[in-house]
Amino acid sequence: MAARNRAKLPYLLVAPAVALLTLFVVAPGVYALVLSFQARKVVGGLLGGGSRLVFVGFDNYGTALADPELWSSIVRMLLVALLFIPATVGFALLFALLLDVPRVRLARSTRLAIFLPYAVPGVIASLMWGFMYLPATSPIGGDHIDFFGSVTVFFSVANVAVWGSVGFNMIVIFTALRALPSELYEAARIDGCSELRMALRIKVPLVLPAIAMCTLFTALASLQLFNEPNTLRPLSNAVSSTWVPLMKIYQDAFVDSDVNKAAATSVLFVIAALAVSFVASRTVSRVNR
Amino acid sequence: MRARVRLLPTAALVLGAIYCVVPTLWILIAATKSKTDLFSTATYLPSFGAGILHNIVDLSTYQDGIFWRWMLNSFGYALIGGVVASLVSAACGYAIAMYSFRGRKVVFNVILACVLLPQIVLAIPQYLLLSNVGLTDSYLGVLLPQLFNPYGIYLCRIYAASSVPQSLLEAGRIDGATEWKLFHSVGLRLMGPGLITVFLLQFIAIWNNFLLPFVMVNSDDKFPLTVGLYSLLRHGAAEASLYSLVITGTLLSVLPVIALFLSLQRYWRLDLVTGALK
């Protein structure tokens, strides 16, 4: 009896997670895949006509990929990512290393302050920064600096994203730094190694896996860029309704009611995200070795 | 030399902290201003009139106090979703860590792949699927997809493996305890501290979520704060007088989670976040 019970419990414990996984990840995924190969076609004549879903093969993928709006949204996303990824990882690493300097002052309170934006939703962060960018209400010189210019808007969007994610990444790297054995530093200090040299020559190489993990997280976050530009949109004309790919997918699905094209773009997007993850995790395991 | 070494890092950290705190401080200042002051007074100086009280009253009466409804919804989604998702994650992570059973590897690998799969691109297919069963524009439509938290399961597995010794389970078995009893009285108890972190992570993830409720819900009485304030801003684009409502709402939405965050900070097991447990 006990043995049978023992054999059953793990399945019971895993069941809720597997059920949720099936219903809310696998099923929507499969459904999106099915939709992406279908299109609504008008059938019948003038009388009694209607529309029904027909199989169209890769047509939706063709239309999606031939849409210049998708490509310009991808370019804009890449431009933001180009600013966002190095700034986030760079500042996170810098702050983590500074926190790890022996006897640095105010470490606890500054660490907390830098981590705090993590608790602020992206939409709310964009609202706060949006009003800081707005010329009429800006405390940071919005009447001299055009935060919604054709070039500056990329910095403005990236800045909101950086603000929200530096803290979490800093904690990831800082935790990795703290896990290093302290004996490592003693010898270097006796040899007269400066804190700066020690940070660059000893600490950074040893926390490379954590840095790689942060880079992967921020790269995935850039793919999912939506909240920041979407929230800044009502405040400025600089952000179009299809500014980044997710906004384009949303526009296709809900504004233009072309669910099938949106599904095809989503599928392409998932493939891209998985490819980024795969390449990144391969790199991480190589670094680990 | 020594002193400079300490001064420079401290100064850099303080600059970083200021950068992170300034938007919140500014929104606090802006919320003290009346609709007309907002555009006419020096932007970095607070107004010492009763502006903030007026703003809060205006916000509270806007559409019969819908703002507080949004606040309540956000807490409801995040609290219920956080608790249930943590329990689901705990059960699954514990089973994968403590038992060897058929299909264990497959389940874990699929979950690991889900950690890397951006949940957000699933929002639209989830909407389409849930609309077929009539669950869109309902509380459940927002809540259900957020109960599965692959990262939480991953963390629970690591945490169970390191905090629940197999020998303790063996001892319990000899004493005649059932597997279920071992799970909830030994496993769950020992995993407690880690579970709080999993709960906090999921609470904040749901609290911060925008796209899923944005596509899932149309009626404004089911909005969480993020979608509610966004819709207020959209109306405000035509009517600048709503700006001070948006600003006040932003302040009121940030304060409780910052308070919660600060008061719970000692429960964060941040070493768990990175899976860096020894």
Assess contact for A252 and A63: CB atoms under 8 A.
Answer: no
The HSE-up count of residue A79 (CA atoms within 13 Å, CB side) is: 17
Over 50: is that where the pLDDT of B245 sits? yes
- Identify which of B261, B15, B36, B255 has the alpha carbon closest to the alpha carbon of residue A128: B255
What is the rounded radius of gyration, in angstroms, for the C-alpha atoms of chain A?
A: 25
Residue in B with minimal Cα distance to A220: B118
The confidence score (pLDDT) of residue A144 equals 81
Six-digit token string for A48:
């009694």
Residue ranges of the domains in chain A? 58-288
Which one of B5, B19, B210 has the shortest CB-CB distance to A195? B5
Assess contact for A246 and B120: CB atoms under 8 A.
Answer: yes
Write the CA distances from B164 to A5, B45, B175, integer angstroms.
Answer: 20, 55, 17
Residues in chain B within 8 Å Cβ distance of A178: 271
Percent of chain B with pLDDT over 90: 49
In DSSP terms, A55 is beta-bridged to A38
Encode pLDDT of B173-214 as tens digits. Answer: 999 988 999 998 999 999 988 899 899 989 999 999 999 999
Encode pLDDT of A65-95 as tens digits. Answer: 999 999 999 999 999 999 999 999 999 999 9
Residues in chain A within 8 Å Cβ distance of B237: 234-235
- Give, for A43, the enclosing helix (H) or strand (E): strand A38-43
Q: Helices in A1-43 by DSSP H: which ranges?
A: 2-21, 27-36
Over 60: is that where the pLDDT of B33 sits? yes
Q: Taking each helix axis from N to C terminus, what angle separates A259-288 and A27-36, rounded to the nearest 10 degrees?
A: 130
Q: How confident is the model at residue B37 (pLDDT cuts 50, 70, 90)?
A: confident
Domains (ranges, CATH) in chain B?
A: 7-52 (no CATH), 63-276 (1.10.3720.10)
Q: What is the DSSP letter of B154?
A: H
| Interfacial B residues in 183-202 facing A (CB < 8 Å) | 183
Instruction: Specify the 3-state DSSP secondary structure of A38.
Output: strand
The confidence score (pLDDT) of residue A81 equals 96
Percent of chain B with pLDDT over 70: 90
Secondary structure (H, E, C), B24-64: HHHHHHHHCCCHHHHHHCCCCCCCCCCHHHHHHHHHHHCCC
Q: Which CATH class is domain A58-288?
A: mainly alpha
- Identify which of B47, B72, B24, B92 has the alpha carbon closest to the alpha carbon of residue B251: B24
ipTM above 0.90, yes or no: no
Encode pLDDT of B249-278 as tens digits. Answer: 999 998 888 888 888 877 777 777 666 554
- Which amino acid makes up residue A173? I
Six-digit token string for B82:
């956080």
Give the global pTM: 0.89
Chain A interface disruption, residue of B77, B274, B278, most A CBs within 10 A? B274
Rounded CA separation B51/A65 (Å) = 52
Assess contact for A241 and A265: CB atoms under 8 A.
Answer: no
Over 90: is that where the pLDDT of B94 sits? yes
Q: Does B116 touch chain A (CB under 8 A)?
A: yes
Buried b (16+ CB within 10 A) or exposed e, A112-148: ebbbbbbbbbbbbbbbbbbbbbbeebbbeebeeebbb
Chain B interface disruption, residue of A25, A95, A194, A254, most B CBs within 10 A? A25
Six-digit token string for A285:
């395991």
Instruction: Specify the 3-state DSSP secondary structure of A54.
Output: strand
- Give, for A50, the enclosing helix (H) or strand (E): strand A50-55
Residue identified by tokens 């005649």 is B176
User: What is the distance in angstroms between the Cα of B154 and the nearest Cα belonging to chain A?
Assistant: 12
The low-confidence residues of chain A, meaning pLDDT below 50, are 1-2, 4
The confidence score (pLDDT) of residue A240 equals 93
Phi-psi region of A275 (alpha: psi -120 to 50; beta: other; left: phi over 0): alpha
Residues in chain A within 8 Å Cβ distance of B98: 10
Which one of B14, B94, B257 has the shortest CB-CB distance to A110? B14
Residues in chain A within 8 Å Cβ distance of B5: 101, 195
